[in-house]
Amino acid sequence: MTIRLYNTLSGKKEVLETIEPNKVRFYACGPTVYNLFHVGNGRMFVVFDTVRRYLEYRGYEVRFVQNFTDVDDRIINRANELGENVRDVANRYIEEYFRDADALGIKPATVHPRATECIPEIIAFIADLIRLGHAYEREGDVYFDTSSFAEYGKLSHQSLDEMQAGFRITVLEHKDDPTDFALWKSAKPGEEYWESPWGPGRPGWHIECSVMNAKYLGEEIDIHAGGRDLVFPHHENEIAQSESRFGHTFARYWLHNGTLNINGEKMSKSLGNFIMTRDLLEERSAAAVRFFLLSAQYRHPLNYTQDAMEQAEQSVVRIGRSLRNLAHRREVLLEGPSFARGDEGVRNEVQAEFDGVRKMFVDAMDDDFNTADAIAAVFEAVRLANTYLAEDQVRESELNGWESLISELLSVLGIQLSNDVTPQSTARSEDEEIESLIAARNQARKARDFKRADEIRDELSARGITIEDTAQGTRWFRS
RNA sequence: GGCGCCAUAGCCAAGUGGUAAGGCAGAGGUCUGCAAAACCUCGAUUCGCCAGUUCGAAUCUGGCUGGCGCCUCCA
């Protein structure tokens, strides 16, 4: 069993072969912290969080690094707009990132470096590039000389000639060539700056990622991930910088997720057609949002619509009901006569079903993290579990088996189903009353006084209590 | 202008040469006093359109149409 992943560099699916056995060095580009992140950004975080979880599930020790770009024109502009200090703005949005990421079930990376924490290393890296003849200084700015890197364009599959032909407006500044890009930008009056051999200034955008990779993961890494829109120029430039500096392969596998679209267009801050993740979470469950974001293969575009979100919500409800029914059945079982608790282990045919579902899931995820197929495996487990629940005799070990299997798969996808949100204190005091109403209703049903039974059900329903009569008794829950 | 991607049922979405997964919504059935939950069955003779290759194509090739992304900040 091997994991295959689509590598943007080769344009093919390749077998994952890591630098060190059972260890993955994984870098994903993080946000520029000048605002909250929108659902499109959220897709990227969720997708690669899921890749990371899956690699861990498959036994890899994953060292996952995700940076914060906390030096950027946009942050400076934002700070000016707000009349605040640049550092304060950046720090605040880093905190806000963690808040929303946590709400979406995105695990913190192993390391979350910030560009401002790596300034000395960035300066040293740039100095090395100049020394090696890959960069030049012009009036306090430093540029990377793309013509010095023969393989420039290999990630985006374009030649330098093609790129130059594509430049509509040539903004040369001090650059020798339009495809050259800034490594170091001299500070404009009033801007935050760091001292450097080229005068006061700040790092360009691309250099921080090259530096952080080297600093936290080493000169060569296994997986580098980001959104499709980072392929060019950002990742192309990272490759140019790192490979020019170290003289060998930078990242083995380049993973890029498709855009999240809305009304057929890419959701982006510059187009202004975005929905903040935080706002979406006000009206939708995190589980549904995450389900939606994983409902398509990560490389494909995904269109955001109300309808699709509603469908995701319903799908998640179906899974949740199955888990709820498994838990209820176990509760009844444990309360029942002791012979019903007999636990002789899991029957072979049920074990075979567990194995079948798990294989379906792993096969799907092994094939370039096909979460759409993986979700189908979850539904297969749900269907089989529900079928098992319809049996007259069930065993605790098997109920537990279904529950833990479904939970196991959901946790790899990072989908956490919210439990009853009613505060415990309120819940407990109310429980007794509900139980007695249900008992009264069952008395009425026994006496075939269905009018009275339905009245009680309506009353409970009005209080937000849904009841379901099963062969094992009546179960209820807050809706 | 250059590079690249996509087009599968009402909706979402897998499937890259062997005869169309899964989910949502819908219809019918079973169970139930009823309801709910659940299970079963039904739904694309067909995969944007037109040619071609092949014993065989949603899957490969060419053309066309429609849509998107990148080439400028962007996950």
pLDDT of residue A426: 61
CA separation for the pair A195, A202 (Å, rounded) = 8
Residue with tokens 């990072």: A414
Q: Considering the domain boundaries, does residue A301 fall inside one? A: no
Task: Assess whether A243 and A342 both reside in one domain.
Answer: no
- Report how many domains make up chain A: 3
Q: Is the CB of A227 under 7 A from strand B?
A: yes
A419 part of a folded domain: no
Q: What is the pLDDT of residue A52?
A: 97
Nucleotide nearest to A448 (CA to C1'): B33
The per-residue pLDDT string of chain A (479 residues; one tens digit each, 9 = 90 and over) reads 699 999 999 988 999 999 999 999 999 999 999 999 999 999 999 999 999 999 999 999 999 999 999 999 999 999 999 999 999 999 999 999 999 999 999 999 999 999 999 999 999 999 999 999 999 999 999 999 999 999 999 999 888 877 776 555 455 567 888 889 999 999 988 889 999 999 999 999 999 999 999 999 999 999 999 999 999 999 999 999 999 999 999 999 999 999 999 988 899 888 889 999 999 999 999 999 999 999 999 999 999 999 999 999 999 999 999 999 999 999 888 887 665 666 677 889 999 999 999 999 999 999 999 999 999 999 999 999 999 999 988 999 999 999 999 999 999 999 998 754 444 456 677 888 999 999 999 999 999 999 999 999 999 999 989 999 998 889 998 87
CA–CA distance from A45 to each of A66, A375, A449, A474 (Å)?
A: 10, 18, 56, 42
Q: How far is the CA of A330 from the C1' of B24 (A)?
A: 29
| HSE-up of residue A234 (Cα within 13 Å, Cβ side) | 17
Is A344:A395 a contact under the CB 8 Å cutoff? yes
> Does A400 share its domain with A433?
no
* ipTM summary value: 0.94
Is residue A333's beta carbon less than 7 angstroms from any atom in nucleic acid strand B? no
Domain co-membership, A434 together with A386: no
* Nucleic strand B within 7 A of Cβ A163: yes
Verify that A438 and A344 share a domain, yes or no: no
Closest nucleotide to the alpha carbon of A295, via C1': B13
Interatomic CA–C1' length for residue A330 and nucleotide B41, angstroms: 30
What one-letter code names the amino acid at A324?
R
Hits for CB < 7 Å against strand B across A residues 132-161: 156-158
Question: Could you say which nucleotides of strand B lie within 7 A of any protein CB atom?
Answer: 1-6, 11-15, 21-25, 32-40, 67-75
- Kindly state whether residue A312 falls inside one of the protein's structural domains: no
Interatomic CA distance for residues A39 and A260, integer angstroms: 8
Domain presence at residue A157: yes
- Within a domain: A309: no
Evaluate if the CB of A14 falls below 7 Å from strand B: no
Nucleotide nearest to A232 (CA to C1'): B70
Task: Please tell me the distance from the alpha carbon of residue A466 to that of residue A85, in angstroms, as a whole number.
Answer: 53
Q: Clarify whether residues A253 and A169 are in a common domain.
A: yes
What range defines the domain where residue A388 resides?
A: 325-413
Same domain, A441 and A395: no
**Length of chain A, in residues:** 479
A370 touches strand B (CB under 7 A): yes
- DSSP category for residue A188: P
What distances in angstroms separate CA A338 from CA A330, A334, A398, A444, one per listed residue?
13, 8, 17, 29
| In a domain? residue A292 | no
DSSP β-ladder status, A302-304 and A260-262: parallel
Give me the CA A286–C1' B32 separation in Å, rounded: 34
Domain boundary among A283, A305, A336: A283
Minimum CA–C1' distance nucleotide for A29 = B75
**How distant is C1' of B62 from CA of A348, in Å?**
54
Q: Is the CB of A162 under 7 A from strand B?
A: yes
**Nucleotide of closest approach to A270 (CA, C1'):** B74
Residue A421: the pLDDT is 44
Name the protein residue, with chain letter, whose CA is nearest the C1' of B12: A308
Residue A474 to residue A479: CA distance in whole angstroms = 16
What does the CA dihedral A125, A126, A127, A128 come to, rounded to 10 degrees? 50
> What's the CA A369/C1' B9 distance, rounded, in angstroms?
26
Q: Which residues lie below 8 Å from residue A353, measured CB to CB, with a gap of 6+?
A: A384
Judge whether residue A476 contacts strand B, using its CB and a 7 Å cut-off.
Answer: no
For residue A44, say whether its CB is under 7 Å from any atom of strand B.
yes
Question: So what's the pLDDT on residue A167?
Answer: 57
Do A146 and A277 have their domain in common?
yes
CATH at residue A409: 1.20.120.640
Q: Nearest to residue A97, comparing CAs of A228, A278, A229? A: A278
Closest residue to B5 measured CA to C1′: A300
Residue A267 Cβ < 7 Å to strand B = yes
Please indicate, yes or no, whether residues A94 and A123 belong to a single structural domain of this protein: yes
In the prediction, which pLDDT does A172 show?
59
Same domain, A407 and A334: yes
In a domain, A86, yes or no: yes
How high is the pLDDT of residue A187? 92
Q: Which of residues 107-136 of A touch strand B (CB under 7 A)?
A: none
Verify that A362 and A463 share a domain, yes or no: no
For residues A230 and A332, membership in a common domain is answered with no
Specify the pLDDT at position A335. Answer: 80
For residue A15, being part of any structural domain is answered with yes
Q: Are residues A331 and A455 in the same domain?
A: no
Residues 453-472 of A with CB under 7 A from strand B: 453-454, 457, 466-470
Per DSSP, the three-state class of A244 is helix
Say if CB A425 and CB A416 are below 8 A apart: no
Query: Is A280 within 8 Å of A39 (Cβ atoms)?
Result: yes
Nucleotide B30 C1' to residue A387 CA (A): 14
CA of A164 to C1' of B41 (A): 61
Tokens of A416: 């956490």
